[in-house]
Structure 1
Amino acid sequence: MKQLVVHNESEWTQAALLDDGRLIEFAAERLQEHGMAGSFYKGRIVNVLPGMQAAFVDIGLKKNAFLYIDDLLPAHTEKHPPEKPSIEQMARKGQQLLVQITKEPFGGKGARVTTHYSLPGRYLVYMPEADYVAVSKKISPESDRLRMKAFGEGIRRPGEGLILRTVAGGESEDKLAEDLDTLRLRWQEIVAASERVDAPKELYRDLDLAQRMIRDVYDPLTDELIVDDANQEGKLSAFVQEMLPGAEPRVRLHTESTPMFERYEVEQQLHRDFGRKIRLPGGGTLIWDQTEALTVVDVNTGKFTGADDSLETTVTDTNLEAAEEIARLLRLRDVGGIVIVDFIDMREEVNRMRVLERLRERLARDRTQSQIVGWTQLGLLEMTRKKVRESGAGLFYKVCPSCEGTGRIMIR
């Protein structure tokens, strides 16, 4: 059973997703500065950079947003011109346009924006100008996916695009159509607001943290929602009822004297899972080093000696366990960019494929897109994971100002 645990305090909302008591996702945001990803702005182009094929857009934040040419071209790749035009043909200084944030500002970088607009609902994602229908690969069997795609083609209007989410698989067509109507109306309101104002101006902000988590990962029929604030309990119960009319959500107010995150061991797991050295349940270890764009994970057998005398079996069992834990930690830490995993060397190709498939299977449970590139010539596993927001736990951890993250002391 999954539990969504939402903790509120004076300045913060924190949400932890537990699967049979094990932490698999964590997010946090300040009450006055809730997430920007997915929000719409009317922006003004302040600089066009031909050498980068990009433009900088003032949307009213401290740093100008970055708009790459691919995010100005049509969302449907089949409608792209044979040769990519110059950014100067697509954008000009002073031009005002409607943009949506796809990646929040973090570090020294501003937000990344696009004109490939999308509005997520409970069952589908509405893309007003995409002109195609896609169905979640997690919906099975293939006959259901084909049926869902045909239904999507039937309800969309010319030029519109839809992505049918995994949770749409078991729902009635009436509910899917209602979700689409709601998203269409929201889009019309955004466009109307854009026509009334001058840039820079925020037009629409996505749901707050707890509501996003409910929309994206919470199943009211099987999951439990636990909150420690009475006002939040009422607000979230009403949100679930509005999102899923007729549902009986399992929303519970935490009233025990023990703090909620302590009661469900959230803090304990965060401290353990965000360390540099993570112990695997079987005795192996992961050494986790992370930079802004690259994460390296080293797998070691540690104290794991295996169940028999075969070194290959011992190594493979450790790597399989590591693959599961790495997939969980990538999601929990919300790692983005390039990821390199140095699994323990395996001699047999069949074992390498078993480890690869185990990792791919576990990554499929992550709602953030990942791509496994494969094994390098040096025997390292290479993959990438999309980054949208700053890691929730990252807001509570910072680099030591004395050593700047090196953690080394000179020996004389």
Structure 2
Amino acid sequence: MKRMIVHCGEQSTQMALLEDGRLVEFAVERAASVRLVGSFYKGRVVNVLPGMQAAFIDIGQKKNAFLYVDDCLHPHLEKQPKQKPPITSLLRVGQELIVQVMKEPFGGKGARVTTHYSLPGRHLVFMPQADYIGVSKKIERESERNRLKQLAEAIRANEEGIIIRTVAQGETVESLAQDMGTLRQQWKAVEQAALAVSAPALLHQDVSMAERMIRDAFTHNVDELVIDDRKQAELMKSYVCTFDAELVERVIVYQDREPIFRRFHIEGQLDKTFQRKTWLQSGGYLVWDQTEALTVVDVNTGKYTGTSDLEDTVFFTNMEAAEEIARLIRLRDIGGIIIVDFIDMDSDDHRKSVLEQLERTIRKDRTKCLVVGWTKLGLLEITRKKVREQVMSRLYTSCPTCDGTGKRVPELQQL
């Protein structure tokens, strides 16, 4: 059974996705914080950096946003790097322009913005200034891909771009056209708002975390959407009704006295998820370490000694670890470069099987991931799109004394 569980608290809203009772995705949005990704701003150029081919844009936040030349070029020029003009020919100090946030500010850096605008809907992503049609790679059947491309061509105007989402499989042209019409209206509202204000100003704010997850993940494969707040449940029913009325009856109000995350055994799973050492069912374990540059995962056999020879023990542990690593990367919402140090394997077939296991499991992740492959040192490289701080940073704060290192000076050195 697949369930989406929503806890509405005074300080935050938390959402969990369960598959047969196992936690596979978790998100949290604090009431005091504002999500920037997806939102549109009218910004003002405050500094142009020719040496970096980038510019700083004032969008009204504490830190100025960062705009790379690749993110403000016409899409047709991106594939021809030699034709990239200098940033000074595209932007000037004091210029006002519409930008969309593509990456949250974190680590002392401002948000990253773009002028390649996109508005996501239930069935498609609308790109108002890109002459392009794409179909989700998760739609594998060629006949369905071609059908959806034809529908996209039928509903778009010249110079408009469309990316068909996975949930659009089997949908009619009417459903796609309705989605497209709504997104066109949103873009028109952004343009009109930009004419009425001076920079810096917010033009359009993206939907809440709960609405976003429901829009993107609440499909007919999900059996229940359980919410512990009646008012929010009614709002979610109204929202779901705008794109799929058949799913409304699956929205359930949770009324028991026992906290909803305890009732569905989410609390205990969350506690284990964010430990530096996470145990595998076999007795092996993973060690997670993060730096500004990358995340490293070390695989160990631990308590597991196997039942036959060493190679089989190592292979079994690595196979189990590959599946768990893919799940926890998604659950922790880790972005950027990820390096996995699996236990050394002599067999090329075993190495291939572990790689395939990881690739197969990581396909379930809705965030863009790429399993790069094995390095010459036998490490496995993964990249995952990074748009915000990982979940752990939103749930915990670093110790002000040790800054999160968890170490102290030995007593002998203190004397």
When normalised by structure 1's length, the TM-score is: 0.96
Tell whether 2:376 aligns with 1:380.
no
Distance in 1, matches of 2:34 and 2:228, equals 19
Distance in 1, matches of 2:177 and 2:249, equals 22
Distance in 1, matches of 2:57 and 2:78, equals 27
**Helix, strand or coil at the partner of 2:3:** strand
Paired AA for residue 14 in structure 1: Q
| Match of residue 302 from structure 2 | 302
Q: CA deviation at 1:306?
A: 2.4
Distance in 2, matches of 1:203 and 1:233, equals 28
**Helix, strand or coil at the partner of 1:144:** helix
Aligned 8 A contact 1:27 1:393 in 2 = no
**Helix, strand or coil at the partner of 1:126:** strand
Change in CA separation of 1:249 and 1:130 when aligned onto 2, cut-off 3 Å? farther
Distance in 2, matches of 1:86 and 1:78, equals 13
| Match of residue 257 from structure 2 | 257
| Match of residue 175 from structure 1 | 175
Percent identity over the alignment is: 56
Distance in 2, matches of 1:185 and 1:50, equals 36
Aligned 8 A contact 1:316 1:351 in 2 = yes
| Match of residue 330 from structure 2 | 331
Distance in 1, matches of 2:103 and 2:36, equals 8
| Match of residue 207 from structure 1 | 207
| Match of residue 342 from structure 2 | 343
**Helix, strand or coil at the partner of 2:344:** coil
Tell whether 2:191 aligns with 1:185.
no
Answer with 244-253 or 309-318: which moved more.
244-253
Q: CA deviation at 1:16?
A: 1.2
Q: CA deviation at 1:271?
A: 1.1
- Equivalent residues in 2 for 1:49-198 (5 A)? 49-77=49-77, 80=80, 82-198=82-198
Q: CA deviation at 1:246?
A: 4.9
Distance in 2, matches of 1:239 and 1:137, equals 27
**Helix, strand or coil at the partner of 2:6:** strand
Paired AA for residue 406 in structure 1: T
| Match of residue 28 from structure 2 | 28
| Match of residue 9 from structure 2 | 9
Distance in 2, matches of 1:306 and 1:192, equals 66
| Match of residue 37 from structure 1 | 37
Aligned 8 A contact 1:27 1:391 in 2 = no
Q: Could you list the runs of 5+ residues in structure 1 that have no partner in the other structure?
A: none
Answer with 129-138 or 215-224: which moved more.
215-224
Change in CA separation of 1:197 and 1:80 when aligned onto 2, cut-off 3 Å? farther
Distance in 2, matches of 1:200 and 1:206, equals 17
Change in CA separation of 1:30 and 1:406 when aligned onto 2, cut-off 3 Å? closer
Q: CA deviation at 1:63?
A: 0.7
Paired AA for residue 340 in structure 1: I
Distance in 2, matches of 1:52 and 1:250, equals 51
Aligned 8 A contact 2:70 2:78 in 1 = no
- Runs of 4+ residues over 6 Å off in structure 1: none
Distance in 2, matches of 1:64 and 1:249, equals 45
Q: CA deviation at 1:151?
A: 2.2
Change in CA separation of 1:392 and 1:243 when aligned onto 2, cut-off 3 Å? farther
| Match of residue 317 from structure 2 | 318
**Helix, strand or coil at the partner of 1:18:** strand
Distance in 2, matches of 1:357 and 1:221, equals 25
**Helix, strand or coil at the partner of 2:60:** coil
**Helix, strand or coil at the partner of 2:61:** coil
Paired AA for residue 236 in structure 1: M
Distance in 2, matches of 1:112 and 1:21, equals 37
Aligned 8 A contact 2:77 2:83 in 1 = no
Distance in 1, matches of 2:366 and 2:13, equals 21
Q: CA deviation at 1:338?
A: 0.9
Distance in 2, matches of 1:335 and 1:137, equals 22
Aligned 8 A contact 1:283 1:304 in 2 = yes
Q: CA deviation at 1:112?
A: 0.5
Q: CA deviation at 1:405?
A: 2.3
Distance in 2, matches of 1:239 and 1:196, equals 29
Aligned 8 A contact 1:220 1:248 in 2 = no
Q: CA deviation at 1:133?
A: 0.7
Change in CA separation of 1:77 and 1:163 when aligned onto 2, cut-off 3 Å? farther
Distance in 2, matches of 1:246 and 1:286, equals 42
Distance in 2, matches of 1:49 and 1:133, equals 33
How big is each residue's C-alpha offset from its partner over 1:91-132, in whole Å with a ceiling of 9 and x where there is no partner?
100000000000011221111000010000001100111211
Q: CA deviation at 1:34?
A: 3.5
Tell whether 2:399 aligns with 1:400.
yes
Q: CA deviation at 1:241?
A: 0.8
Paired AA for residue 3 in structure 1: R
